[in-house]
A and B are shown apart, each in its own frame.
Chain A
Amino acid sequence: MTERGSLSKEEARDLFLQYRAATDEDERLALREKLVDQYIGLVEFLARRFKNRGEPLEDLTQVGMIGLLKAIERFDLEREVEFSTYATPTVVGELKRHFRDKGWAVRVPRRLQELHLELTKMISLLGQDLGRSPTVPELAKATGHSEEQVLEGLEIAQAYNFSSLDAPLDSDDEGSSTFADQIGSEDEQIENLEYWASLAPEVSKLPEREQTILFLRFYKGLTQSEIADKLGISQMHVSRLLNRTLTRLRGAFED
Protein backbone atom coordinates (compact mmCIF):
# COMPACT_ATOMS: atom_id res chain seq x y z
CA MET A 1 0.00 0.00 0.00
CA THR A 2 1.46 3.32 -1.08
CA GLU A 3 1.17 6.26 1.25
CA ARG A 4 -0.56 9.14 -0.51
CA GLY A 5 1.82 11.46 -2.28
CA SER A 6 4.85 9.75 -0.81
CA LEU A 7 6.65 8.78 -4.01
CA SER A 8 9.48 10.80 -5.46
CA LYS A 9 9.22 12.06 -9.03
CA GLU A 10 11.29 9.16 -10.29
CA GLU A 11 9.35 6.57 -8.34
CA ALA A 12 6.09 7.98 -9.66
CA ARG A 13 7.45 7.81 -13.18
CA ASP A 14 8.46 4.20 -12.60
CA LEU A 15 4.99 3.43 -11.40
CA PHE A 16 3.54 4.92 -14.58
CA LEU A 17 5.93 2.86 -16.68
CA GLN A 18 4.92 -0.31 -14.85
CA TYR A 19 1.29 0.60 -15.29
CA ARG A 20 1.67 1.16 -19.03
CA ALA A 21 3.58 -2.10 -19.41
CA ALA A 22 1.27 -4.25 -17.35
CA THR A 23 -0.81 -6.71 -19.34
CA ASP A 24 -2.49 -8.65 -16.57
CA GLU A 25 -5.79 -7.00 -15.67
CA ASP A 26 -5.45 -7.50 -11.92
CA GLU A 27 -1.95 -6.15 -11.96
CA ARG A 28 -3.07 -3.15 -13.99
CA LEU A 29 -5.83 -2.35 -11.55
CA ALA A 30 -3.50 -2.70 -8.57
CA LEU A 31 -0.99 -0.34 -10.17
CA ARG A 32 -3.70 2.11 -11.08
CA GLU A 33 -4.83 2.10 -7.48
CA LYS A 34 -1.31 2.97 -6.40
CA LEU A 35 -1.26 5.87 -8.84
CA VAL A 36 -4.61 7.05 -7.54
CA ASP A 37 -3.32 6.89 -3.96
CA GLN A 38 -0.35 8.94 -5.03
CA TYR A 39 -2.47 11.74 -6.51
CA ILE A 40 -5.68 11.67 -4.46
CA GLY A 41 -4.37 14.63 -2.50
CA LEU A 42 -4.35 16.70 -5.67
CA VAL A 43 -7.97 15.79 -6.35
CA GLU A 44 -8.99 16.70 -2.83
CA PHE A 45 -7.14 19.98 -3.07
CA LEU A 46 -8.87 20.90 -6.33
CA ALA A 47 -12.28 19.70 -5.13
CA ARG A 48 -12.02 21.99 -2.10
CA ARG A 49 -11.85 24.96 -4.44
CA PHE A 50 -15.42 24.18 -5.49
CA LYS A 51 -16.85 23.42 -2.09
CA ASN A 52 -18.76 26.66 -1.57
CA ARG A 53 -21.18 25.94 -4.35
CA GLY A 54 -23.61 23.83 -2.40
CA GLU A 55 -22.22 20.36 -3.05
CA PRO A 56 -20.74 18.05 -0.42
CA LEU A 57 -16.97 17.80 -0.60
CA GLU A 58 -17.03 14.02 -0.78
CA ASP A 59 -19.23 14.18 -3.90
CA LEU A 60 -16.86 16.68 -5.46
CA THR A 61 -13.89 14.46 -4.68
CA GLN A 62 -15.66 11.60 -6.43
CA VAL A 63 -16.23 13.78 -9.48
CA GLY A 64 -12.61 14.87 -9.42
CA MET A 65 -11.56 11.23 -9.28
CA ILE A 66 -13.14 10.69 -12.68
CA GLY A 67 -10.86 13.41 -14.00
CA LEU A 68 -7.86 11.84 -12.30
CA LEU A 69 -8.56 8.45 -13.86
CA LYS A 70 -8.89 10.06 -17.27
CA ALA A 71 -5.61 11.90 -16.79
CA ILE A 72 -3.87 8.69 -15.71
CA GLU A 73 -5.04 6.99 -18.91
CA ARG A 74 -3.98 9.83 -21.18
CA PHE A 75 -0.77 11.00 -19.57
CA ASP A 76 2.11 10.87 -22.03
CA LEU A 77 5.38 9.97 -20.32
CA GLU A 78 7.37 11.22 -23.28
CA ARG A 79 6.37 14.75 -22.48
CA GLU A 80 8.51 16.70 -20.09
CA VAL A 81 5.68 17.67 -17.83
CA GLU A 82 4.81 16.60 -14.32
CA PHE A 83 1.74 14.48 -13.96
CA SER A 84 0.14 16.85 -11.46
CA THR A 85 0.54 19.71 -13.94
CA TYR A 86 -0.98 17.59 -16.63
CA ALA A 87 -3.83 16.29 -14.47
CA THR A 88 -4.97 19.58 -12.95
CA PRO A 89 -6.92 20.92 -15.95
CA THR A 90 -8.53 17.52 -16.50
CA VAL A 91 -9.71 17.29 -12.90
CA VAL A 92 -10.89 20.89 -12.85
CA GLY A 93 -12.63 20.33 -16.18
CA GLU A 94 -14.49 17.39 -14.72
CA LEU A 95 -15.58 19.43 -11.71
CA LYS A 96 -16.77 22.27 -13.92
CA ARG A 97 -18.67 19.86 -16.12
CA HIS A 98 -20.33 18.49 -13.03
CA PHE A 99 -21.62 21.93 -12.09
CA ARG A 100 -22.66 22.55 -15.65
CA ASP A 101 -24.63 19.30 -15.59
CA LYS A 102 -26.23 20.34 -12.37
CA GLY A 103 -27.24 23.64 -13.88
CA TRP A 104 -25.58 25.70 -11.19
CA ALA A 105 -23.89 27.64 -13.98
CA VAL A 106 -27.11 29.58 -13.99
CA ARG A 107 -27.15 31.52 -10.76
CA VAL A 108 -29.36 29.77 -8.26
CA PRO A 109 -30.34 31.78 -5.19
CA ARG A 110 -28.34 30.66 -2.19
CA ARG A 111 -31.45 29.80 -0.18
CA LEU A 112 -32.57 27.39 -2.89
CA GLN A 113 -29.13 25.87 -3.26
CA GLU A 114 -29.10 25.12 0.44
CA LEU A 115 -32.63 23.79 0.39
CA HIS A 116 -31.74 21.63 -2.58
CA LEU A 117 -28.63 20.30 -0.91
CA GLU A 118 -30.53 19.54 2.27
CA LEU A 119 -33.25 17.70 0.37
CA THR A 120 -30.74 15.76 -1.69
CA LYS A 121 -29.12 14.46 1.48
CA MET A 122 -32.41 13.79 3.23
CA ILE A 123 -33.89 11.84 0.30
CA SER A 124 -30.91 9.55 0.47
CA LEU A 125 -30.91 9.24 4.28
CA LEU A 126 -34.63 8.64 4.59
CA GLY A 127 -34.48 6.25 1.69
CA GLN A 128 -32.01 4.12 3.59
CA ASP A 129 -34.08 4.24 6.78
CA LEU A 130 -37.39 3.51 5.12
CA GLY A 131 -36.20 1.06 2.52
CA ARG A 132 -38.15 3.03 -0.08
CA SER A 133 -38.17 6.50 -1.52
CA PRO A 134 -39.63 9.04 0.98
CA THR A 135 -42.81 11.07 0.52
CA VAL A 136 -43.05 14.85 0.50
CA PRO A 137 -44.67 14.99 3.99
CA GLU A 138 -41.86 12.78 5.32
CA LEU A 139 -39.25 15.07 3.78
CA ALA A 140 -40.98 18.12 5.20
CA LYS A 141 -41.06 16.61 8.66
CA ALA A 142 -37.44 15.50 8.57
CA THR A 143 -36.10 18.84 7.34
CA GLY A 144 -38.45 21.08 9.28
CA HIS A 145 -39.62 22.84 6.10
CA SER A 146 -43.19 23.17 4.93
CA GLU A 147 -44.45 20.84 2.23
CA GLU A 148 -44.63 23.81 -0.15
CA GLN A 149 -40.98 24.56 0.45
CA VAL A 150 -40.06 20.96 -0.21
CA LEU A 151 -42.06 20.98 -3.44
CA GLU A 152 -40.36 24.16 -4.48
CA GLY A 153 -36.97 22.67 -3.71
CA LEU A 154 -37.72 19.56 -5.73
CA GLU A 155 -38.99 21.33 -8.81
CA ILE A 156 -36.70 24.32 -8.84
CA ALA A 157 -33.64 22.26 -9.67
CA GLN A 158 -35.25 21.34 -12.98
CA ALA A 159 -36.07 24.92 -13.76
CA TYR A 160 -32.48 25.96 -13.36
CA ASN A 161 -31.21 23.34 -15.69
CA PHE A 162 -32.76 24.57 -18.89
CA SER A 163 -29.60 26.27 -20.12
CA SER A 164 -27.96 22.96 -20.89
CA LEU A 165 -30.78 21.80 -23.14
CA ASP A 166 -29.12 23.46 -26.08
CA ALA A 167 -26.07 21.26 -25.87
CA PRO A 168 -25.69 19.12 -28.99
CA LEU A 169 -27.04 15.62 -28.78
CA ASP A 170 -23.77 13.96 -29.63
CA SER A 171 -21.61 16.18 -27.45
CA ASP A 172 -18.22 14.81 -26.55
CA ASP A 173 -18.57 13.39 -23.09
CA GLU A 174 -15.88 10.81 -22.61
CA GLY A 175 -15.83 11.16 -18.84
CA SER A 176 -19.12 9.42 -18.51
CA SER A 177 -17.65 6.07 -19.50
CA THR A 178 -16.73 5.61 -15.88
CA PHE A 179 -20.43 5.56 -15.06
CA ALA A 180 -20.99 2.86 -17.61
CA ASP A 181 -18.13 0.96 -16.04
CA GLN A 182 -20.07 0.90 -12.83
CA ILE A 183 -23.07 -0.89 -14.20
CA GLY A 184 -20.97 -3.96 -14.47
CA SER A 185 -20.48 -6.62 -17.04
CA GLU A 186 -19.59 -6.15 -20.64
CA ASP A 187 -22.57 -8.30 -21.56
CA GLU A 188 -24.86 -5.87 -19.88
CA GLN A 189 -23.35 -2.96 -21.73
CA ILE A 190 -23.68 -4.74 -25.05
CA GLU A 191 -27.25 -5.59 -24.20
CA ASN A 192 -27.73 -1.92 -23.46
CA LEU A 193 -26.36 -0.81 -26.81
CA GLU A 194 -28.30 -3.36 -28.82
CA TYR A 195 -31.47 -2.46 -27.06
CA TRP A 196 -31.22 1.23 -27.82
CA ALA A 197 -30.02 0.75 -31.35
CA SER A 198 -33.24 -1.12 -32.09
CA LEU A 199 -35.53 1.19 -30.18
CA ALA A 200 -34.18 4.64 -30.88
CA PRO A 201 -31.00 5.27 -32.82
CA GLU A 202 -30.89 8.81 -31.39
CA VAL A 203 -30.18 7.37 -27.98
CA SER A 204 -26.91 5.88 -29.07
CA LYS A 205 -25.64 9.41 -29.73
CA LEU A 206 -26.09 10.35 -26.09
CA PRO A 207 -23.23 10.33 -23.59
CA GLU A 208 -22.78 6.89 -22.07
CA ARG A 209 -23.88 7.97 -18.64
CA GLU A 210 -27.22 9.19 -19.98
CA GLN A 211 -27.63 5.97 -21.96
CA THR A 212 -26.89 4.01 -18.84
CA ILE A 213 -29.50 5.89 -16.85
CA LEU A 214 -32.13 5.39 -19.56
CA PHE A 215 -31.29 1.71 -19.71
CA LEU A 216 -31.48 1.20 -15.96
CA ARG A 217 -34.73 3.14 -15.62
CA PHE A 218 -36.74 2.07 -18.65
CA TYR A 219 -35.32 -1.33 -19.44
CA LYS A 220 -34.15 -2.70 -16.12
CA GLY A 221 -36.96 -0.95 -14.26
CA LEU A 222 -34.78 0.44 -11.48
CA THR A 223 -36.22 3.46 -9.67
CA GLN A 224 -34.38 6.78 -9.70
CA SER A 225 -33.26 6.17 -6.11
CA GLU A 226 -31.86 2.76 -7.02
CA ILE A 227 -30.03 4.22 -10.00
CA ALA A 228 -28.66 6.97 -7.78
CA ASP A 229 -27.26 4.34 -5.40
CA LYS A 230 -25.79 2.32 -8.22
CA LEU A 231 -24.05 5.26 -9.86
CA GLY A 232 -23.07 6.99 -6.64
CA ILE A 233 -24.91 10.22 -7.45
CA SER A 234 -28.00 11.76 -5.86
CA GLN A 235 -31.57 10.91 -6.86
CA MET A 236 -32.10 14.55 -7.75
CA HIS A 237 -29.15 14.43 -10.07
CA VAL A 238 -30.59 11.33 -11.75
CA SER A 239 -33.89 13.17 -12.07
CA ARG A 240 -32.26 16.15 -13.73
CA LEU A 241 -30.21 14.08 -16.14
CA LEU A 242 -33.21 11.96 -17.05
CA ASN A 243 -35.46 14.94 -17.67
CA ARG A 244 -32.85 16.73 -19.68
CA THR A 245 -32.18 13.64 -21.78
CA LEU A 246 -35.85 12.94 -22.46
CA THR A 247 -36.44 16.55 -23.46
CA ARG A 248 -33.54 16.44 -25.86
CA LEU A 249 -34.73 13.19 -27.36
CA ARG A 250 -38.22 14.55 -27.92
CA GLY A 251 -36.65 17.27 -30.01
CA ALA A 252 -34.69 14.71 -31.96
CA PHE A 253 -37.73 12.56 -32.66
CA GLU A 254 -39.65 15.48 -34.00
CA ASP A 255 -37.01 16.58 -36.49
Chain B
Amino acid sequence: MDKVSISIPASPQYLQVVRLIATGLASRLTFTIDEIEDLKIGVDELAAYLTGTQGREGTLDIEFVIESDRIKIRGVGNFAPGDKIRTDLTEFSRQILKTVADEAVLEVSNGVPSFFLTKNKQS
Protein backbone atom coordinates (compact mmCIF):
# COMPACT_ATOMS: atom_id res chain seq x y z
CA MET B 1 0.00 0.00 0.00
CA ASP B 2 1.64 3.22 -1.17
CA LYS B 3 0.67 6.77 -0.32
CA VAL B 4 1.09 10.04 -2.16
CA SER B 5 0.16 13.39 -0.64
CA ILE B 6 -0.19 16.85 -2.02
CA SER B 7 -1.40 20.14 -0.64
CA ILE B 8 -2.80 22.68 -3.09
CA PRO B 9 -4.29 26.15 -2.76
CA ALA B 10 -8.05 25.63 -2.44
CA SER B 11 -8.80 26.88 -5.90
CA PRO B 12 -10.39 25.07 -8.86
CA GLN B 13 -7.49 25.89 -11.15
CA TYR B 14 -5.22 23.67 -9.08
CA LEU B 15 -7.52 20.70 -9.43
CA GLN B 16 -5.84 19.91 -12.72
CA VAL B 17 -2.73 18.96 -10.75
CA VAL B 18 -4.82 16.60 -8.65
CA ARG B 19 -6.33 15.07 -11.78
CA LEU B 20 -2.88 14.58 -13.27
CA ILE B 21 -1.61 12.79 -10.18
CA ALA B 22 -4.76 10.68 -10.03
CA THR B 23 -4.27 9.78 -13.69
CA GLY B 24 -0.62 8.92 -13.18
CA LEU B 25 -1.32 6.71 -10.21
CA ALA B 26 -4.31 5.02 -11.80
CA SER B 27 -2.27 4.24 -14.88
CA ARG B 28 0.30 2.50 -12.64
CA LEU B 29 -2.54 0.25 -11.57
CA THR B 30 -3.34 -0.22 -15.27
CA PHE B 31 -6.77 1.33 -15.01
CA THR B 32 -8.37 1.65 -18.43
CA ILE B 33 -8.86 5.05 -20.02
CA ASP B 34 -12.57 4.88 -19.21
CA GLU B 35 -11.80 4.11 -15.55
CA ILE B 36 -9.29 6.94 -15.39
CA GLU B 37 -11.86 9.32 -16.84
CA ASP B 38 -14.32 8.23 -14.17
CA LEU B 39 -11.76 8.76 -11.45
CA LYS B 40 -11.03 12.28 -12.67
CA ILE B 41 -14.70 13.18 -12.83
CA GLY B 42 -15.26 11.80 -9.33
CA VAL B 43 -12.38 13.76 -7.80
CA ASP B 44 -13.43 16.91 -9.61
CA GLU B 45 -17.00 16.57 -8.46
CA LEU B 46 -16.11 16.14 -4.79
CA ALA B 47 -13.20 18.56 -4.67
CA ALA B 48 -15.33 21.25 -6.29
CA TYR B 49 -17.51 21.31 -3.18
CA LEU B 50 -14.49 22.14 -1.08
CA THR B 51 -12.91 24.72 -3.36
CA GLY B 52 -16.16 26.24 -4.62
CA THR B 53 -16.12 27.67 -8.12
CA GLN B 54 -14.28 30.79 -6.97
CA GLY B 55 -11.74 29.19 -4.67
CA ARG B 56 -11.25 29.78 -0.94
CA GLU B 57 -8.58 31.00 1.43
CA GLY B 58 -6.63 28.00 2.65
CA THR B 59 -5.46 24.70 1.29
CA LEU B 60 -6.86 21.42 0.12
CA ASP B 61 -4.80 18.48 1.33
CA ILE B 62 -5.15 15.40 -0.79
CA GLU B 63 -3.90 11.94 0.00
CA PHE B 64 -3.89 9.11 -2.51
CA VAL B 65 -3.69 5.55 -1.28
CA ILE B 66 -2.72 3.01 -3.90
CA GLU B 67 -3.68 -0.58 -3.28
CA SER B 68 -3.26 -3.51 -5.63
CA ASP B 69 -6.58 -3.14 -7.37
CA ARG B 70 -7.99 0.16 -6.23
CA ILE B 71 -7.19 3.75 -5.49
CA LYS B 72 -8.51 5.73 -2.53
CA ILE B 73 -8.47 9.50 -2.41
CA ARG B 74 -9.11 11.64 0.63
CA GLY B 75 -9.29 15.42 0.51
CA VAL B 76 -9.37 17.67 3.58
CA GLY B 77 -10.12 21.39 3.47
CA ASN B 78 -7.98 23.65 5.66
CA PHE B 79 -9.98 26.82 5.60
CA ALA B 80 -10.50 29.80 7.84
CA PRO B 81 -12.94 28.90 10.63
CA GLY B 82 -16.50 29.92 9.95
CA ASP B 83 -16.20 29.54 6.19
CA LYS B 84 -19.57 28.13 5.20
CA ILE B 85 -19.28 25.11 2.97
CA ARG B 86 -22.04 23.08 1.48
CA THR B 87 -21.53 19.44 2.32
CA ASP B 88 -24.83 17.90 1.32
CA LEU B 89 -24.41 16.48 -2.16
CA THR B 90 -26.97 17.52 -4.75
CA GLU B 91 -29.09 14.77 -6.29
CA PHE B 92 -27.17 15.38 -9.48
CA SER B 93 -23.78 14.95 -7.81
CA ARG B 94 -25.00 11.78 -6.15
CA GLN B 95 -26.03 10.39 -9.51
CA ILE B 96 -22.67 11.28 -11.03
CA LEU B 97 -20.68 9.80 -8.16
CA LYS B 98 -22.77 6.65 -8.10
CA THR B 99 -21.79 6.13 -11.74
CA VAL B 100 -18.10 6.93 -11.58
CA ALA B 101 -16.96 5.82 -8.11
CA ASP B 102 -17.33 2.80 -5.88
CA GLU B 103 -17.50 4.90 -2.78
CA ALA B 104 -17.95 8.65 -2.43
CA VAL B 105 -18.48 10.61 0.78
CA LEU B 106 -18.57 14.31 1.56
CA GLU B 107 -18.71 15.24 5.24
CA VAL B 108 -17.85 17.73 7.95
CA SER B 109 -16.31 16.58 11.16
CA ASN B 110 -15.46 19.07 13.91
CA GLY B 111 -15.94 21.86 11.42
CA VAL B 112 -13.43 20.38 8.97
CA PRO B 113 -14.87 19.49 5.58
CA SER B 114 -13.50 16.47 3.76
CA PHE B 115 -14.25 14.00 1.02
CA PHE B 116 -13.39 10.42 0.40
CA LEU B 117 -13.51 8.42 -2.79
CA THR B 118 -12.69 4.88 -3.80
CA LYS B 119 -12.35 3.56 -7.30
CA ASN B 120 -11.83 -0.14 -7.90
CA LYS B 121 -10.23 -1.57 -10.97
CA GLN B 122 -12.83 -3.46 -12.94
CA SER B 123 -10.88 -5.41 -15.47
Contacts and interface: CB of A to CB of B under 8 A. Distances in A.
B53 A154 contact: no
A133 B53 contact: no
A217 B95 CA distance: 10
Interface residues of B, number: 29
Question: Secondary structure at chain A's binding surface: helix, strand, loop or mixed?
Answer: helix
A211 interface: no
A151 B99 contact: no
Contacts of B44: 243, 246-247
A219 B91 CA distance: 13
A225 B27 contact: no
Nearest to A251: B53
A200 B95 CA distance: 11
Contacts of A243: 40-41, 44
A136 interface: yes
A254 B37 contact: no
A136 B99 contact: no
Contacts of B30: 135-137
A133 B35 CA distance: 8
Contact of B92 (A123, A159, A200, A225): A200
Given A132-B123, A243-B41, A246-B45, A199 B95 contact: yes
A224 B35 CA distance: 9
Contacts of A115: none
B20 interface: yes
B96 A154 contact: no
B99 to A, nearest CB: 5
Given A199-B91, A200-B91, A246-B44, A135 B99 contact: no
Contact of A253 (B32, B36, B90): B90
Contacts of A235: 33-34, 37
A158 B40 CA distance: 11
Given A136-B36, A200-B91, A155 B48 contact: no
Interface in B41-61: 41, 44-45, 48, 52-53
Contact of A218 (B35, B90, B95, B123): B95
A203 B92 contact: yes
A7 B40 CA distance: 52
A246 B33 contact: no
Interface string B81-115: 00000000011100110010000000000000000
B32 A249 contact: no
13 contacts: A132-B123, A133-B35, A135-B32, A136-B23, A136-B31, A139-B33, A154-B23, A200-B90, A200-B91, A217-B99, A221-B99, A243-B41, A243-B44
Interface of A: 123, 132-137, 139, 147, 150-151, 154-155, 158-159, 199-200, 203, 217-219, 221, 223-225, 235, 239, 242-243, 246-247, 249-251, 253-254
* Pairs A-B, 6 closest by C-beta atoms: A136-B27, A133-B34, A133-B32, A200-B92, A223-B34, A135-B30
